[in-house]
Amino acid sequence: MSHEEKLKNYRTAPFDARFPNTNQTRNCYQNYLDYHRCNKALTAKDKDPAPCEWYHRVYKSLCPIAWVCSCTRLSNSTPH
């Protein structure tokens, strides 16, 4: 996929009435959690986790890259 095509298909996260403030930290974190919960639940039921991709796209759009990297690193090192 070319760079121009990626830019053309890029969409920002839509407005979420649960998080009306300009500080989107909680919105970022909630979508991060929702993605992982959705993915875990659908994978456990042997279903396709494709519907969870919406949460993934939203949290990748809202969250700074450093936060995503550190959260992923922490979740991989913590026993469940």
Which ranges of the chain would DSSP assign to H, the alpha helix? Answer: 3-9, 25-44, 53-62, 65-77
Fold classified for 32-80: Arc Repressor Mutant, subunit A (1.10.10)
Q: Please, which pLDDT band fits residue 32 given cuts at 50, 70 and 90? A: very high
**Smallest Cα–Cα separation from 11: which of 52, 50, 62, 48?**
62
| Helix 53-62 × helix 25-44 angle, to 10° | 160
Torsion of CA 46, 49, 52, 53, to 10 degrees: 170
Single pTM value for the model = 0.70
Q: What is the pLDDT of residue 1?
A: 62
How is the chain split into domains, by residue range?
Answer: 32-80
Q: What is the pLDDT of residue 7?
A: 61
The yes-or-no verdict on residue 19 having pLDDT over 90 is: no
